Structure 1
Amino acid sequence: MLVNRMMKHGKKSLAYQIFYRAGIDIRQQTKQNPVYVLRQAISKVIPGVGVKTRKRKRGKTVKVYRVPVKMKLSQAILLAIRWLIGGSRKRSGTSMISQLSSELIDASSKKRCNAIRKKEETLKMAEASRTFAHFR
């Protein structure tokens, strides 16, 4: 799933090269199994609650509410992978390999990375929209 989300313009072999080289980089930096670091990073970025928009129509006016919704595990994993890749693309670095490896290492060690910030931002939005939970 990570390789397919990382792929641009159908270049899957390039995405695999980036993924494997990032794994080698993770092994050199942390002395741990890169698959373990990847799973740990995904598990720490997975959101429990998401926010969906709901429209309520009354007459001619349409109100849009943000409603907190509990997410399915598969959807939450997909969102976590998307956040990890987006956070690694936003990082400043020489190559996507170093950006991806540093984002995964930071997310697995619970440091401040872009993916964890995105998760906290989503949780804050869900907490603020808790009053609209009955619109589910």
Structure 2
Amino acid sequence: MGSITASRTQLKPDPRYDSILASKFINCLMQDGKKTVAQQVLYRALDEIGRRIPDAEPIEVFEQAIENVKPYIEVRSKRVGGASYQVPMQVNRARQQSLALRWILGAVRDKKGRPTHLKLADELIAGYKKEGVAYTKRENTHRMADANKAFAHFAW
């Protein structure tokens, strides 16, 4: 998988669900070093998910949402003989995860006028059901890669 960053080795599971992924998400959600605020936002969002989807475990909905948003292939710019080509390439596991987290948080932050935990709950449920802004972004990424399949031979 390549080199492991320090954050990867030092990351401790979150206190409530004992999940490394939740811990990573809290760190990405956190602004200005306010970790307890970020934790409250995630936990309240998961409580909200628990209310809206009573037959599913909230942490599993969260993990499945991220799994559904992960892109497997993306386009990267490659210059060949003075022309730039959008070359489709496989995405490694660490980047899949960070892109999924980034897209979900981006979708949440773009929505305005409601408490963050409710927006986050909405986006996670949408991702779980394979819909929503972050999932659409993944689909568009895959579509771009598909459209540029002709340049796949430049991927070396």
TM (normalized to structure 2)?
Answer: 0.78
Find out whether 1:42 has 2:42 as its counterpart: no
Moved over 6 A (4+): none
| Structure 1, unaligned runs of 5 or more | none
How big is the shift at 1:68? 0.4
One-letter amino acid matched to 1:135: F
Report the counterpart of residue 115 of structure 2 in structure 1: 95
Q: 1:125 aligns with which of 122, 139, 144?
A: 144
* Alpha-carbon distance between aligned partners in 2 of 1:6 and 1:38, rounded to the nearest angstrom: 14
* Alpha-carbon distance between aligned partners in 2 of 1:66 and 1:74, rounded to the nearest angstrom: 22
Count of aligned positions? 131
| Structure 2, unaligned runs of 5 or more | 1-23
Report the counterpart of residue 80 of structure 1 in structure 2: 100
One-letter amino acid matched to 2:88: P
Q: How does 1:16-35 map to 2 (within 5 A)?
A: 16-31=39-54, 32-35=56-59
What does the per-residue CA deviation read over 1:62-81, in whole Å, with 9 as the maximum and x for residues that have no partner? 32211100111221111111
Secondary structure of 2:114 counterpart: coil
Higher relative contact order (CA 8 A, sep 6+): 1
One-letter amino acid matched to 1:128: A
Identity of aligned residues (%): 34
How big is the shift at 1:93? 4.6
* Alpha-carbon distance between aligned partners in 2 of 1:88 and 1:70, rounded to the nearest angstrom: 26
Report the RMSD for the aligned CA atoms in angstroms.
1.4
Find out whether 1:54 has 2:73 as its counterpart: no
One-letter amino acid matched to 1:9: D
Give the 3 Å change call, closer, same or farther, for CA 92–30 of structure 1 in structure 2.
farther
TM (normalized to structure 1)?
Answer: 0.88
* Alpha-carbon distance between aligned partners in 1 of 2:89 and 2:59, rounded to the nearest angstrom: 30
* Alpha-carbon distance between aligned partners in 1 of 2:119 and 2:83, rounded to the nearest angstrom: 41
